[in-house]
A and B are shown apart, each in its own frame.
Chain A
């Protein structure tokens, strides 16, 4: 029987469920020309949710519903940034959706449900909650990818995503069942002690492997990355930007809950598995990105490589590594929203701005857009003083501290490879002449321009003042 305390602990999630339902109702009774109001209402809903998460944060970790749901510092950080990036996604996506007649209430409702899934996932205290949150997130995402029903590319991407996603969920569930069989518990907290005293260690390891596969799929780490390029390219950019940002935070949260909170005792086993995933992701992501001509595909492969770096942090398997990986996930979410935000802001009706060549001579057409994109690219490449560099620094440090110097060197080598394709984007914008007849400028929508500029400049400012954010990331893993 849930008591009032449980409800209070779950307040931000419950509030979002109610708000999402109300938005859906409102949309049904709303005239199409009033829809901009719905847009701003959705943004406001998310901002209020951030307030509820922060304001209601208990000083110590608390659990609700018999340990099914955990509200601790890790969940708080992840929720705040998932909500924040989603609010950014809403703002950037609006002109794009309007231009393509996709400005529908479903986009907002589905995205908010996906965010609720993220929030459940990162707060999971039980294998079942993990699965529940994950499915809520992915089912909403499948529908979002197919938002543009008439586009073949979009439908194809959705089907691919669905089939591979279902497979991965199956793997995860299978792994969970084996872990349950070996330990007799579904609660992550109980798993922590039970893992060492199981009578069936092989079964447990087997379960662990399947769970790592599921996590690898969610992160988009190689060799489970196949869906990423197609989904990134096929989805409307307004959906790609969402899939590329907040769910990465969720994937980190899921990895942390399952591997660290649940199976932390098996860290010597999963460390090596993650190291292999990291090396493969770094190699495949960076090398294949070089030959891409489509900007969205390029960013897709860049995501794969960034997940490799995130894994370098997790490999450490200690508070220091988790903090570095969390920091990396946050930095990646901010950079990814900014990168896709620039693409969205440059797109027009009938012009997607998704080929790298579409950016040719951008510095002459719109110096500010070119400058913003340049900062994002250098940040993704990990060039100081931008934010992305410090995130890389911390994960490399975590890997070296774990005694995996070789892994850090692999990470460093692939940073050089990665640099090349990010520089190529800068090269196209700054050194090439614009193609005659194209007109690319930033969106005239003032809110997009202001927020996008702030988003990108934050990458520069955080490059100097990343201390407090990292301090926050460190604190949540202590004690």
Chain B
């Protein structure tokens, strides 16, 4: 079984969606329990990755490779390194929570909802495992189909606009990557990412490819100025959809930079690092200000996601300035590590924030901040969790939000203090928009009579929020295991950055 652990992790949820779908709308509970069972088994299996994966070894592990298309030399090849393992664990963890979170909330065709979630989960795991560019692309694109359905069927009033925008934006980004990949394939004769990484390319070729990759992953992350699909998609998506979108899907953009831009086109990445860093800082500062004025809670958290993901891209590309400019490998490692920790942490924090908003929305059916106020008086337990996640979102030490951001700021200081200064703005702006929202939602007097009737969270919701809270605190207080898990892979990545291709 362990020989095919990765395949199992990908295909179990996908295949598990079939019985869930067959349960039909007449037996919603069968569908729910089956879906939960599949998600739990997948999560337990994903835990087996930890003993199986040797964190001291920087090589790709748990390799599976079968010939897929013999005449083109395309392989069905999977493998993981520390970064993939962490992201897969995150995906499986979130996978359970979104199914529990949707339990009673989704009343319309719950079997289809659960099935779409499971398929989505399997495909996302596939993205993190694939070591063949074509296979990666297949998972990367296929993932859009269940998400399209999730937002479009179970979303809010403007769901159709939002989901079409989401699909077309992402497809727009990735089709150019496909053209780039075909070009690479014709040069290298293989879609294997390792072969592509070793392929010599001129700076001109690299620049074209860099932008092809940049469009694809910048849309996914999302980076300014192609982030506009995200607030729409988040606002209209059902809670579970928002959680998966923020917690895992955005990470695929950051992950893509690591797997494609950095190793395949390192020189162009260095040449255009200023661009990515500039866009990242814009996201951190400018989008932070935009978040400040939002009236809609989901939109606010969506913009805060864009700002936080700015740290991921900043951490990844600041490494170029450090390695190639100053030869400072340690600082570069710190930045890269910070970016990775930020990815995982943001997965937990944003997932938790959207779950909290979902809890409120289920009770009052509005996401407008002004409709709330004084919620703490009727929902003390909810208030506890909400404040905790808000603190994590603004990067309070002791929560997971602090670790990654701090590492990235520290690293960028060594590259250029000005960059660090702008990045550090997030500590102020992030706290401002998050706490301002908390103030208006939780504190104060109850001015809306419906708020007075709200019931505190039930056991199911406590489970979901409690699980997120445990993860946020664990990562904040003791990030060492996560850092250790990814350490050798990050070191390897950073050392690779020094290899010139031209």
**Residues of A bordering B, CB below 8 Å:** 363, 367, 378, 383-385, 389, 393, 396-397, 400-401, 405, 408-409, 412-413, 415-416, 419-420, 423, 426-427, 430-431, 466-467, 470-471, 474
Contact = CB atoms under 8 A, between A and B. Distances in A.
Given A423-B168, A466-B69, 4 more contacts: A383-B145, A412-B175, A412-B179, A470-B71
A32 to B, nearest CB: 40
Given A383-B142, A416-B172, A430 B149 contact: yes
Contacts of B172: 416
Interface residues of chain B: helix, strand, loop or mixed (majority): helix
A359 to B, nearest CB: 14
Contacts of B68: 467
Contacts of A378: 145
Contact of B175 (A416, A430, A431): A416
A467 B70 contact: yes
A431 B160 contact: yes
A412 B176 contact: yes
B199 to A, nearest CB: 16
Contacts of B167: 419, 423
A474 B71 CA distance: 8
Contacts of B144: 383
Given A378-B145, A396-B178, A430-B152, A416 B168 contact: yes
B502 interface: no
Given A400-B186, A471-B71, A419 B149 contact: no
Contacts of B176: 409, 412
Interface residues of B, number: 34
B135 to A, nearest CB: 10
Interface in B83-97: none
Contact of B69 (A400, A415, A426, A470): A470
Interface of A is mostly: helix
A384 B142 contact: yes
Nearest to A426: B148
Most chain A beta-carbon neighbours within 10 Å: one of B68, B137, B175? B175
Interface of B: 68-72, 109, 112, 134, 137-138, 141-142, 144-145, 148-149, 152-153, 159-160, 163-164, 167-168, 171-172, 175-176, 178-179, 182-183, 185-186
Contacts of A427: 152, 160, 163-164
B67 to A, nearest CB: 8
Contacts of A419: 167-168, 171
A387 to B, nearest CB: 12
Contacts of A383: 141-142, 144-145, 171
Contacts of A385: 138, 142
A426 B149 CA distance: 9
Given A397-B186, A470-B71, A474-B71, A408 B179 contact: yes
Given A378-B145, A400-B186, A419-B168, A393 B153 contact: no
Instruction: Tell me which of A383, A384, A419, A427 has the highest count of chain B C-beta atoms within 10 A of its own C-beta.
Output: A384
A230 B137 CA distance: 38
Contact of B182 (A389, A396, A415, A466): A396
Contacts of B163: 427, 431
A136 B337 CA distance: 69
Given A383-B144, A383-B145, A420-B168, A400 B70 contact: no
16 contacts: A363-B112, A367-B112, A383-B144, A389-B138, A396-B182, A397-B182, A408-B182, A412-B178, A415-B171, A416-B168, A419-B171, A423-B164, A427-B152, A430-B152, A431-B163, A471-B71
